[in-house]
Structure 1
Amino acid sequence: MAFGWIEEQARARRRAGLVRALRPRAADCPLLDLASNDYLGLARHPEVIEGAASAARRWGGGATGSRLVTGTTEAHARLERELAEFCGFDAALVFSSGYAANLAALSALAPHGSLIVSDAGNHASLIDGCRLARGTIQVVAHADPEAVHKALHTHRGPAVMVTDAVFSVDGDAAPLARLAAVCRESGAGMVVDDAHGLGVLGPGGRGAAHAAGLAGAPDAVVTVTLSKALGSQGGAVLGPAPVIDHLVNTARTFIFDTGLAPAATGAALAALRVLRREPERAARARTVAATLHARLAAEGHEAVRPDAAVVSVRAPSPQQAVAWAADCRAAGVAVGCFRPPSVPDGVSRLRLTARADLTDEQIEHAVRVIGEACPVTRRTASTR
């Protein structure tokens, strides 16, 4: 049988406790949400919903074509201008997803003969972008500027260093300012995925790259997603105008992909404007994350101190992580459950995402449920 090997892989997943399954979510789901990436609580904001509806009424259900044919509307151009201005870059280019944006940035900016230095903890989309690029890939130790320096020091020719700004598994932040100094010393460019920093870090939520002084830098390119803090869908690449022009002409996930749907474009633009008007949402998301961490660590959980809005609670096994998540759900709280191969260190964990719109009462309820559903032996919590 041509695909008989698939069943053997399925059996192996079942034995390891790594089976994944889709779970459709009802529109009126009663669970307290600590699993989504809606960091600022904007996905259901009235202005964001109206932004989506208004764009759909005006432009229709889909973009109707690739961006270079019919898929670019006035709304796309407006979103790109406002996003670039907000984050402090010359220009922006919107894609149908953050994944597509990362594939575009790396495949277009690392030609044959170049070196790509990639952090060991990078997101799958960055890893796949490196694989699609024609440069030589060197994976270096996680969040280690000295390792990046050693890799770049031995290379002669074009080079680019790629890293998440905030790593999605543990929620720790990359030392962007130190990495930038290392790259500039070697004449290398930087590609920074700020998916988990936009809307949470930096002044008014302008992102980790902005906070590190990379905004507008001629040697820095930043990718973001519109599906997390902005509560919509899609992604974007921010950077110098010549780089954005280069992507328009060479990035395959831009040229050959249908443009972002008008509704998602309108929603992201509306969310960006809410964030401009209410910058305190960014600080609130960080406060909620810090509170969740402090309370869970005090109860003995191995919770990693968050640098943004992700709180990681490590579990002793994949099976235990699944059981914990199921018990939390049964008690009314939805939490993320990360297991291999989604975790680069092989350690399963619950992944909690803080939201700016969580009340103190909801935080207390979540901590109580997690404490009861995830019993642990008392130990010193991890503080990095």
Structure 2
Amino acid sequence: MAEPAPRWETWLGTRARVRELRGLQRNDAPRGRVFDLASNDYLGLAGHRQVRRAAADAALEHGAGAGASRVAGGTFAVHRELEAGLCSYAHRQSALVFSSGYTANLGVLGALGGPGSLFIIDAHAHASLIDGAKLSASAVATAAHNDLEDVARLLHANREDPQGKPRVLVVVESIYSVFGDAAALPKLAALCAQYGALLLVDEAHSLGAVPRGSAVHAAGLADASHVLSTATLSKALGSQGGAVLLGGSGAQALREQLVNASRTFI
């Protein structure tokens, strides 16, 4: 087998030295027996006997692989069952499941993005939200972390700008993973409504792990059409996959847009 070209070898070596100097070298070596204090399996459900049994039964009934996307291979009853269960749990009107929380974020931002969109993203937003915004071909502005006034400033600046974008999406997390602080969802939702913007809330660290099951529901926003939420099923719910959750009278229209325009779903 041919070796990498010299320029690539040099570049790879340089990157390795930079990582070492910065103390950022990672590895995937086995850890042996450890106490896991870094897991996001908040409720310990991933190892629960009933969850493991349900996963085994599902594999026996449906097979071990997807085979194709739902657009190509069709939606199965189990997809609808999962989406209905998530809607019931989160008190939302509509849901669309993805293969992971990461792909859910990429998918929803890609489907809502484009030259006429502005995404205002919290400075501590997860990498999947940043990646989704970059891939969406939208204008992107970064708001100071958990700073309602800065979000308002950016919304106002876009409205006053003659070249401002007609569609605006504010992107936050319900609970931020690094410091564990929470977004002021009711105030953010009210601010977005004032400016005709949508609010996307990443509930990766709140769905199933907060009182009333969902931060959006706890904030009284489950029926708000302009509030979208994403979630992963691999943290508090102890499983695998992701979802976009929608509410209010606009839920179906938004879901149709996702089905037709989310590349990570298609």
Q: Check whether TM > 0.5.
A: yes
Q: 1:21-170, aligned counterparts within 5 Å?
A: 21-24=27-30, 29=33, 31-70=34-73, 72-156=75-159, 157-170=166-179
CA distance in 2, matches of 1:201, 1:112: 36
Q: 1:175-214, aligned counterparts within 5 Å?
A: 175-203=184-212, 206-214=213-221
- Aligned residues between the structures: 250
Cα shift readout 1:139-173 (whole Å, capped 9, x = no counterpart): 01000111111101122411110011111111111
CA distance in 1, matches of 2:180, 2:171: 17
In the other structure, the counterpart of 1:250 is 261
CA positional deviation for 1:71: 5.8
| Residues 154, 99 of structure 1: alpha-carbon distance in 2 compared, 3 angstrom cutoff | same
Q: 1:192-341, aligned counterparts within 5 Å?
A: 192-203=201-212, 206-239=213-246, 240-255=251-266
CA distance in 2, matches of 1:60, 1:79: 16
2:264 alignment partner, SS class? helix
* Partner amino acid, structure 2, of 1:130: A
Alignment counterpart, residue 25 of structure 2, candidates 14, 19, 23: 19
Cα shift readout 1:199-229 (whole Å, capped 9, x = no counterpart): 11131xx221111122121101100000000
Unaligned runs of 5+ in 2: 1-5, 160-165
Assess if the C-alpha contact under 8 Å between 1:117 and 1:160 holds in 2: yes
* Partner amino acid, structure 2, of 1:51: A
Q: Which runs of 4+ in 1 moved over 6 A?
A: none
TM-score (norm 2): 0.91
2:155 alignment partner, SS class? helix
Cα shift readout 1:49-68 (whole Å, capped 9, x = no counterpart): 11101110011111111111
Assess if the C-alpha contact under 8 Å between 1:164 and 1:194 holds in 2: yes
2:230 alignment partner, SS class? strand
* Partner amino acid, structure 1, of 2:25: V
CA distance in 2, matches of 1:134, 1:17: 33
2:169 alignment partner, SS class? strand
Cα shift readout 1:238-289 (whole Å, capped 9, x = no counterpart): 111211111001100000xxxxxxxxxxxxxxxxxxxxxxxxxxxxxxxxxx
1:254 alignment partner, SS class? coil
CA positional deviation for 1:25: 5.3
* Partner amino acid, structure 1, of 2:19: R
| Residues 161, 38 of structure 1: alpha-carbon distance in 2 compared, 3 angstrom cutoff | same
1:213 alignment partner, SS class? coil
Root-mean-square deviation (Å): 1.3
Alignment counterpart, residue 183 of structure 2, candidates 174, 179, 185: 174
CA positional deviation for 1:2: 3.4
1:79 alignment partner, SS class? helix
CA distance in 2, matches of 1:71, 1:94: 13
CA distance in 2, matches of 1:23, 1:43: 22
Alignment counterpart, residue 6 of structure 1, candidates 4, 9, 12: 12
* Partner amino acid, structure 2, of 1:224: A
CA positional deviation for 1:110: 2.4
CA distance in 1, matches of 2:106, 2:59: 27
CA distance in 1, matches of 2:31, 2:91: 37
* Partner amino acid, structure 2, of 1:245: E
